[in-house]
Amino acid sequence: MSYNDITNKLQATLAGIEGIGNVHRQQYFTKTDEAFYNLFAYNLPDNRQRLEKQKADIRGCMITREGFADEQSANTTNTVVHRIKILVLRSVIGDQDSELDFNRIIDAIAAAFRPQGDLGSLVELTQPIQAERIDYRMFGGYLCHYAELLLLVQEYYTS
């Protein structure tokens, strides 16, 4: 299984989480606030923004590989451990309990990977997901809740 296949599986799992927003298989950097907004604008399912004439909420995540370690064993089966970061963001909206909703999304991400130690026939999670950072950041002119989640994904291959 390739890194591309791994990110496809992670994206599909994350996209199934209610309210997560736009799930991207890579980290994006934009030149303009508008380009950022276009990547992460999230319209609530009931179209409240249109009724209230508001811009869409910012919600989403990006999957990126921080590094990997390729280990050879004595037999023909080798392993690669990928350090994969899931960067999660959601705009801060003070009167809508956005922090509580953001933490619900973080909990839902953790739960989505708990029963699924196996991501495919030759890949598994080596430990439960870790929240390495939860704080606030400015993205594209928007104050956002932000989290960095770490997954260690072990891939097996034969040489």
Instruction: Give yes or no for residue 153 having a pLDDT over 80.
Output: yes
Instruction: Give yes or no for residue 122 having a pLDDT over 80.
Output: no
- H/E element holding 14? helix 3-15
SS3 assignment, position 102: helix
- Per-residue confidence band for 142, with pLDDT thresholds at 50, 70 and 90: confident
SS3 assignment, position 76: coil
- Per-residue confidence band for 124, with pLDDT thresholds at 50, 70 and 90: confident
The domain locations on the chain are: 3-64+89-121+128-148
Give the mean model confidence (pLDDT) for residues 10-16: 92
Give the mean model confidence (pLDDT) for residues 25-49: 77
Contact at 8 Å (CB) between 59 and 21?
yes
- Provide the pLDDT for residue 141: 80
Q: Which residues of 127-154 are buried (b: 16+ CB within 10 A; e: fewer)?
A: eebebeeeeeeebbebebbbbbbebbbb
d(CA 75, CA 159): 9
- Provide the pLDDT for residue 50: 45
Instruction: Give yes or no for residue 53 having a pLDDT over 60.
Output: no
- Per-residue confidence band for 52, with pLDDT thresholds at 50, 70 and 90: very low
Instruction: Give yes or no for residue 125 having a pLDDT over 80.
Output: no
Per-residue pLDDT tens digits for 56-81: 788 999 999 999 998 877 777 788 89
d(CA 154, CA 146): 26
d(CA 23, CA 120): 20
Contact at 8 Å (CB) between 105 and 88?
yes
- Provide the pLDDT for residue 85: 97
In this prediction, what percent of the chain has a pLDDT beyond 70?
Answer: 84
- Of 49, 45, 46, 51, the C-alpha closest to 37 is 49
Share the mean pLDDT of the chain: 84
